[in-house]
A and B are shown apart, each in its own frame.
Chain A
């Protein structure tokens, strides 16, 4: 897992939720993968364990993780849900990007040209 550079202007637990969300939808954390304990995660991310707990509860409400009574917490195995969240997230990002580009008086075709210019990173 990487590092989070927290922005003090945004609730810490929300930043943790977003971080895990991206980790899961990008496939860096696999469906069914076991999640470390609250304590381990809190120490790792250098946050208050209560804040970490709050973030995990929120992820559980979003059905991205689930608790097995004695074994701990795991990433959801519902790949449809992961796909849907990824789709939603990508759409939100592209809408934001698109709005910013159209604010520069660029049309869709011109925007796509810009994207093509970036090329592939392979």
Chain B
């Protein structure tokens, strides 16, 4: 059974249509990039998948069931903006996650934090933006989930941290789970993607295997994207 399926999804705010007739299937064992310009509807789609918004029409199924409590157990979500309580230390935040999620792997979190040389006794508010993003990613990747949804995980971090984040995603990727990454910084991410979904003005424009697309269009995903959506 498909891990996640969007069936005829529309989403409007008042009269403004944000998403128009979205149909997509996320299989297991893939890293999938949802690529689109700012304001194309990426984050709205992600929020619908996480049951944080309700579609105007259509439905989203995870493991064949409508999104809800059960789907939240198996989806580990990194939102675009941090929701962590900055008054807590990293250690306190780990405890919180441990209580909150049955599938949280504290050992793994500690290992990743150690690799990153992050001080677990430090308050999150005292950390740089890049460090905070790393902590948020570690927490999300430390859950034994079926689907990881990372909304702009590379926004605002330096290239070295970007590489580390991509490595972390790759090393923690297992064949029974899938990862969805949204980004508008395609160049840095495209190397690790199995499949790409181009979204523009609320519609899916293209879905393809990444290497097949490079072969067919004779260029990088970044270049193909730029060609298609030239301003």
Contacts and interface: CB of A to CB of B under 8 A. Distances in A.
A42 B172 CA distance: 12
B191 A9 contact: no
Given A47-B192, A48-B192, A8 B170 contact: no
B222 interface: yes
Given A46-B167, A47-B192, A50-B29, A9 B219 contact: yes
Contacts of B171: 43
Interface string B127-139: 0000000000000
Contact of B211 (A12, A46, A49): A12
Given A50-B29, A50-B194, A9 B167 contact: no
Interface residue range, chain B:
20 to 34
Contact of A51 (B211, B220, B221): B211
A115 interface: no
A6 B188 CA distance: 11
A48 B192 CA distance: 5
A10 B192 contact: no
A9 B192 contact: no
A50 B209 CA distance: 11
Interface residues of A, number: 17
A102 B30 CA distance: 48
Interface string B172-192: 010100000000000100111
Given A8-B187, A11-B211, A12-B211, A48 B193 contact: yes
B218 A9 contact: yes
Nearest to B195: A50
B191 A6 contact: yes
Interface of A: 6, 8-14, 42-43, 46-51, 54
26 contacts: A8-B187, A8-B190, A8-B214, A8-B221, A9-B219, A9-B223, A10-B214, A11-B210, A11-B211, A11-B214, A11-B215, A12-B191, A12-B211, A13-B211, A14-B211, A42-B170, A43-B171, A46-B166, A46-B167, A46-B170, A48-B173, A49-B170, A49-B175, A50-B29, A50-B194, A51-B194
Interface of B: 29-31, 166-167, 170-171, 173, 175, 187, 190-194, 210-212, 214-215, 218-223
